[in-house]
Chain A
Amino acid sequence: MTHWMAALLITAGLVFFLAGTVGLLRFPDAFTRLHALTKADNTGLGLLAAGVAVLALTWQLVLLIALTWLLAAMASSIACHLVARHGLHHDNHEETRE
């Protein structure tokens, strides 16, 4: 039972990772790509972490996995904001200087 649940969660997570990667490749500009990125970061990693946590043997490990996801979700959303804002202000002229 737990195995099936874990497999289901991990597969669902992989789907989000796939969607995020395809989005990163296919979306037209940096700002829409951010949208794809946060899907993989938050939901994909969340589902995957939940799947692994179901299989974990000790509650300490479960907490650690949960912490990893929580921090990843927070870091990625803030990082995306930083990068987007930076791109908005600087990127128009930056790359042409090469």
Chain B
Amino acid sequence: MTAFLTLAALVLLLLFALGLVRMALGPTRADRIQAVQLSGTTTVGILLLLSEALAMPALVHVALVFVLFAALIAVAFVRHPRSQE
């Protein structure tokens, strides 16, 4: 089973590399941010697979942190930090 999980993680990593092409091509910023979102999801997938393959349950925590910060990055893309003087 470990071999299968590792293989699946490898496939995801390959897809990640493919998705980077869109990040480099653009053409708009929305495209690039979308590529980042997809690569974030792919990384979460890889982490879930590795947590089982390497028997490291803590990797699920790392995946969860990534999910939360991916949302934050999307918000940062569309919003200004505001402050009042």
Contacts and interface: CB of A to CB of B under 8 A. Distances in A.
Q: Give the residue among A21, A25, A34 with the most B Cβ atoms within 10 A.
A: A21
Given A10-B5, A44-B45, A21 B18 contact: yes
Contacts of A67: 64
Interface residues of A, number: 47
B34 A49 contact: no
A87 B15 CA distance: 25
B38 A91 contact: no
A61 B57 contact: yes
Interface in B1-58: 1, 4-5, 8, 11-12, 15, 18-19, 21-22, 26-31, 33-35, 37-38, 41-42, 44-45, 48-49, 51-52, 57
Interface of B: 1, 4-5, 8, 11-12, 15, 18-19, 21-22, 26-31, 33-35, 37-38, 41-42, 44-45, 48-49, 51-52, 57, 60-61, 63-64, 67-68, 70-71, 74-75, 77-78
Pairs A-B, 10 closest by C-beta atoms: A79-B74, A87-B30, A75-B71, A91-B28, A86-B78, A21-B15, A30-B30, A72-B67, A52-B48, A82-B78
